[in-house]
A and B are shown apart, each in its own frame.
Chain A
């Protein structure tokens, strides 16, 4: 069997293209108070947001890079060369016809308008810093569901927005949440009124088109009592020669008995630094579920979290990471139990190809005074080549007597015998690899909505194509 790897020439053709820039608003390269004020001026921020941004900047500058525990590769980010705000200078449109032609072409190539017609209840499309399109199906809007960009959210719905904004993830949570707080732009604001169950998913699509650019979207989703909503995000960027930064903050609030499902399928180009903070708050009997698929990027650091604050709250993270040559997927989950009878579940599957590295970091916290809390953690790693690497860093603190925790971890390798067996049935080496990998993630993918599991399988096949000699 060929053991040497050449995980190159991966077909990212679907996302790897860009049109010439035509930005009207440009904050220029580098980050200073001037940059932040420019963004505030352009966006006509209210005073409390201006102040929020400046506090974010101060915290960002004070905090060191977390290289003492995370990858040293973070030092490759040159914060002075990044452009922090770029926008076409037009309002967010409600119909595709009004979206400027070159931007519309981009999203049409990515198939977004088509998907909207097929199975989505609402779509937002962000191009670099700003949402260029945002629309919600009439029937859903009539139920009182709000689905707009974050800028519009803070302006038009301040009473709901301000109450929760920055509460689940404070400015100083980490260096990158502070950076996002300083320069955030775009992202979604969603509010689902009590008892409303949004049947079809709402989707946001984040697209980076410009070089030397940082995308800092900010998403806030509030599901009021007894409501249900599914949100999906997709991300792509063309492959530029210089690193691109994507640093989002996503806050979810599930009030009593509400359910939020947040699905991410990202397929970043291989020089994107993807440093994202995602956290959900689950009140009594509420449920927050993260489905997270990380493909591509140079370095991803992302640990979706759930704080179970009310009795019987539930948290769940299902995550798949695929690390190809030159990529490091540093992903995991955090489950903070803060009430009795709360339950959490983490299932993480990672695949390392070539010299790719997948890291699982998990935090499960159950304090002493709680009763009948349960956590189940499964983390499985699959190594494709002998040069592939996987690390697991679970941190589990469970105190008290009435709580149960279960942790299972496995590392497996696609064996030469297994590939030979499949080849003997007629599959090529690449097909055999791809089928093995799909089998490895299969039980997890089955829990995804149809449209995303199909997309994910296709992405995995594309990734595997270049991975065998």
Chain B
């Protein structure tokens, strides 16, 4: 989508201001001043008494610590509001609201067909899905208006559940092209810096250097594909990363390596939405918050312990909590 010149001119200084705000926010984060500001709204409950009993509910009393932070929070989060998504006329996601501030890891769990992967693809801008209502803001900017590549360049990363093969294009060349697309026109990426960084990140992920000369995902095992996704995440340094079923098809060793990679990338500048089917991954990547998605909406939210309870009680239990039946 061509961006009008004027708004491009305005965007630069605006982004500068936003980055300043981001720094203040990061400082707050590290000083522990910021707790649960702009926290996700409570999932719909059938009764208020139940909510009162729920000790896993985030501590909401701190919200009013300072209203000023609210502004920062708004500028530094991926904010999904009342999102409705349809595929071929059928509604898959039905009014989903979720906030992922930078610096936090949010796990999104749910059974098959609950709409988790659909959400991931819509965030990245896949053309096969229609957003019928709601909006998504990334650092205050309307994400849904942007082309997929613009979203990526502005800091959104999706680790695919089924990454595509790109025959003949090596990982090194692909990542270089991806990084090159982020530098201003006319500037060249410094080759030596690039390779130094690439090798450093590969070491972190326990990847052999020979990997760089292999074509992207071509003939990769399940584990190699997922590690290659995390390598790209590490190299592209996004603001928000959506990891879609990154644990699927991994044996325990591969899972540990991938988890180690993700954990090493955690920090105040990165917000992670971790989509997973099983609790297993959360033993290795411990989330700050857990959300349960059933039938296209979030039915429960809580601290990391929610995942354990869910494991024990099953999705039917989570479903019971919904205001209306998930499946009509």
Chain A residues bordering chain B, tally (CB within 8 A): 26
A418 CA to B163 CA, complexed, in Å: 8
| Interface majority SS (helix, strand, loop, mixed), chain B | mixed
Query: Which 4 interchain pairs have the tightest Cβ spacing?
Result: A439-B168, A439-B169, A442-B168, A421-B164
User: How close is B46's CB to chain A, nearest CB, in angstroms?
Assistant: 38
Q: What are the residues of chain B within 8 A of A428 when measuring CB–CB?
A: 147, 149, 181
Would A427 and B168 count as touching, CB distance under 8 A? no
Contact A425 B127, beta carbon cutoff 8 Å: no
Is A97 among interface residues, defined by CB-CB distance under 8 A?
A: no
Beta-carbon contacts under 8 Å, A401-449 to B: 412, 415-418, 420-429, 431-432, 435-436, 438-443
Given contacts A418-B166, A425-B152, A426-B152, contact A435 B174 (CB under 8 A): yes
Q: Does A139 sit at the interface, judged by CB under 8 A?
A: no
Q: Does A76 interact with chain B (Cβ within 8 Å)?
A: no
Of B126, B147, B151, B157, chain A has the most CB atoms within 10 Å of the CB of B126
Asked whether, in the complex, the Cβ of A424 is within 8 Å of the Cβ of B148, the reply is yes
Q: List 15 A-B contacts (CB under 8 A).
A: A416-B127, A418-B166, A420-B124, A420-B164, A423-B152, A424-B158, A425-B175, A425-B236, A426-B152, A426-B153, A426-B178, A432-B149, A435-B174, A436-B169, A439-B166
Which residue in B165, B168, B178, B215 is a CB contact (below 8 Å) of A425?
B178
Closest A residue to B175 using CB positions = A425
Q: Are A435 and B169 in contact (CB under 8 A)?
A: yes
What is the 8 Å Cβ interface bit string for chain B, positions 154-173, against chain A (1 contact, 0 not)?
00011010011111110001
Most buried by A among B125, B169, B232: B169
Contact B174 A425 (CB under 8 A): yes
Task: Using known A-B contacts A425-B152, A426-B236, A428-B149, determine if residue A442 contacts B169 with beta carbons closer than 8 Å.
Answer: yes
Q: How far is the CA of A41 from the CA of B206 in the complex (A)?
A: 75
Is B182 among interface residues, defined by CB-CB distance under 8 A?
Answer: yes
Q: B168 to A418, Cβ gap below 8 A?
A: no
Across the interface, which residues of B come within 8 angstroms of A450, CB to CB?
A: none
| Interface set of A (CB-CB < 8 Å, partner B) | 1, 412, 415-418, 420-429, 431-432, 435-436, 438-443
The docked-state distance in angstroms from the alpha carbon of A459 to that of B127 is 29
A466 to chain B, nearest CB (A): 16
Are A440 and B168 closer than 8 Å at their CB atoms? yes
- Residue numbers in B under 8 Å from A432 (CB-CB): 149
- With A418-B164, A425-B181 given, name 7 new contacts (CB 8 A): A415-B164, A424-B152, A424-B157, A431-B177, A435-B166, A435-B173, A442-B168
- The residue in A427, A431, A436 that gathers the most chain B C-beta atoms within 10 A of its C-beta is A427
| List of B residues within 8 angstroms of A439 by Cβ | 166-169, 215
Contact B168 A422 (CB under 8 A): no
Inter-chain contact B158/A426, CB cutoff 8 Å:
no
Cα distance A442–B147 in the bound complex, in angstroms: 28
- Shortest distance in angstroms between A410's beta carbon and chain B's nearest beta carbon? 10
In Å, the complex CA distance between A308 and B252 comes to 57
B117 to chain A minimum Cβ distance, whole angstroms, is 13
Q: With A415-B164, A436-B166, A439-B167 given, is the CB distance from A427 to B126 under 8 Å?
A: no
Is B166 touching A421 in the complex (CB atoms < 8 A)? yes
Interface centre among B147, B152, B153, B177 (most CB of A within 10 A): B177
In the bound assembly, the distance between CA atoms of A418 and B164 in angstroms comes to 5
